[in-house]
């Protein structure tokens, strides 16, 4: 029998905050209507899928990807509005970019700080923690707008190296005031980097990309996930080349695989199709928001993303009913005190939206 006791091995090797923490949990969704992860419910149209299948069949899989990713980066720069003189680095989803940013900004001589208004996307905190950084969350106001004086005071006090501003924010769905974002960028100046996380930009259609030349400490992060390609995992970060050179040193080699590269290039050649799907989902969002707002005891928060956040009388009861009806949504209740009895639902097809709406109605009556 081996002398090695696995519990002792874990205690002796794995860091304490990992041992006592938990992973990023994703519930098993088979057999459920999946409205918890902000995916686009529409696939690429059949003829395009057939064409893509041919491109994938021709892909060179016995070699590593071309290290420069030149073609894909060029398509991103030209089709997605990266200003002249600015470039991108690619990530295995923007999740990986968040992690790269944190690793590049963490320090050995002191605990560097990551800051974000809260409630925020959970990976900001998780990546900061795993990179050995301190995370400072500054609560939003109750209407989910930025508390600018509190943000500026926290910047003064904690001197963050990185500030994540999700634009629009997840899980609240709103866009922050542009003037507030600019005030934060200007307050940090050369002491800190501001990440405009524009995961939901295809729905919000508003961006800080055009402000890159004005603010050297601004970087813009996006993803193809919400646009309809969550399965391929491609995120990108646009910034000044000198800054990207630094982040690129931390990026794992060949982090974007050949199949993703081929699929992303193909999708960008047909980005009009994806934009049209996003426009359709925006219309569905308007309709679903209105239907939800008409329900008794329900407060709907304004959304510029492909999801809606709402407050119901009893979030646990509504989620249990929806789960029983095989509809998966996100219960935000225990995430943050501002989100008491809040739930978040992805905007989907008219059919799935109406299954959700009816199940939610039933949960309010029961």
**Which parts of this chain interact with ligand PMP (CB under 6 A)?**
38, 93-95, 121, 166, 170, 197, 199, 223, 225, 230, 235
Least Å distance, CB 96 to ligand PMP, is: 7
Strand 193-197 relative to strand 235-239, pairing: unpaired
Q: How far is the CB of 207 from ligand PMP (least distance, A)?
A: 14
Give 198 or 352: the residue with its C-beta nearer to ligand PMP. Answer: 198
Q: Counting beta carbons within 10 angstroms of the beta carbon of residue 84, is it exposed (0 to 12), middle (13 to 18) or buried (19 or more)?
A: exposed
Among all residues, whose Cβ is closest to ligand PMP? 93
On whether the CB atoms of residues 118 and 139 are closer than 8 A, the answer is yes
Whole-angstrom Cα distance, residue 267 to residue 201?
17
CB atoms within 10 A of CB 173: 26
Euclidean distance between CA atoms 91 and 233, whole angstroms: 8
Nearer to ligand PMP, 93 or 192 (CB): 93
Q: Output 148 or 204, the one with its CB closest to ligand PMP.
A: 204
Minimum CB distance to ligand PMP, residue 358 (Å): 26
Question: Nearest approach, Cβ of 303 to ligand PMP (angstroms)?
Answer: 13
Give whichever of 309 and 363 is closer to ligand PMP, judged by the CB atom.
Answer: 309
Q: State in angstroms the smallest separation of the CB of 230 from ligand PMP.
A: 6
Cβ neighbourhood burial of 248 (10 Å; 0-12, 13-18, 19+):
middle
Rounded to an integer, what distance in angstroms lies between the CA atom of residue 262 and that of residue 264? 6
Nearer to ligand PMP, 201 or 363 (CB): 201
């Amino acid at each position: 029998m081996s002398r090695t006791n696995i519990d002792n091995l874990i205690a002796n090797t794995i860091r304490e905050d990992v041992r006592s923490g938990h992973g990023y949990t994703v519930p098993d969704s088979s057999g459920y209507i999946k409205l918890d992860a902000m995916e686009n419910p529409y696939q690429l149209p059949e003829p395009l899928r057939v064409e893509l299948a041919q491109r994938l069949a021709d892909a060179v899989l016995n070699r590593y990807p071309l290290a420069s990713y030149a073609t894909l980066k060029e398509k991103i720069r030209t089709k997605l509005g990266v200003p002249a003189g600015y470039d991108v680095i690619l990530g295995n989803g923007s999740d990986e970019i968040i992690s790269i940013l944190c690793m590049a900004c963490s320090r050995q001589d002191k605990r560097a700080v990551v800051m974000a208004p809260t409630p925020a996307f959970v990976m900001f905190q998780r990546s900061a923690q795993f990179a050995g950084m301190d995370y400072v969350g500054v609560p939003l106001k109750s209407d989910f707008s930025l508390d600018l004086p509190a943000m500026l005071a926290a910047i003064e006090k904690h001197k963050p190296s990185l500030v994540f501003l999700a634009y629009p924010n997840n899980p609240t769905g709103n866009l922050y005031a542009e003037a507030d974002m600019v005030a934060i960028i200007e307050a940090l100046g050369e002491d800190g980097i501001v990440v405009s996380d524009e995961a939901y930009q295809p729905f919000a259609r508003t961006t800080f990309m055009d402000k890159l030349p004005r603010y050297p400490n601004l970087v813009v992060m996006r993803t193809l996930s919400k646009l309809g390609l969550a399965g391929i995992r491609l995120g990108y970060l646009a910034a000044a080349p000198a800054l990207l050179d630094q982040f690129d040193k931390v990026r794992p080699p060949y982090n974007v695989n050949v199949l993703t590269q081929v699929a992303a290039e193909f999708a960008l050649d047909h980005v009009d199709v994806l934009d049209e799907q996003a426009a359709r989902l925006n219309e569905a969002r308007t309709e679903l928001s209105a239907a939800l707002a008409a329900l008794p005891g329900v407060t709907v928060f304004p959304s510029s993303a492909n999801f809606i956040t709402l407050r119901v009388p009893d979030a646990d009861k509504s989620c249990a009913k929806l789960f029983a009806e095989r509809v998966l949504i996100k219960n935000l209740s225990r995430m943050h005190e501002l989100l008491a009895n809040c739930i978040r639902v992805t905007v989907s097809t008219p059919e799935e939206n109406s299954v959700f709406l009816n199940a939610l109605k039933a949960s309010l009556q029961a």
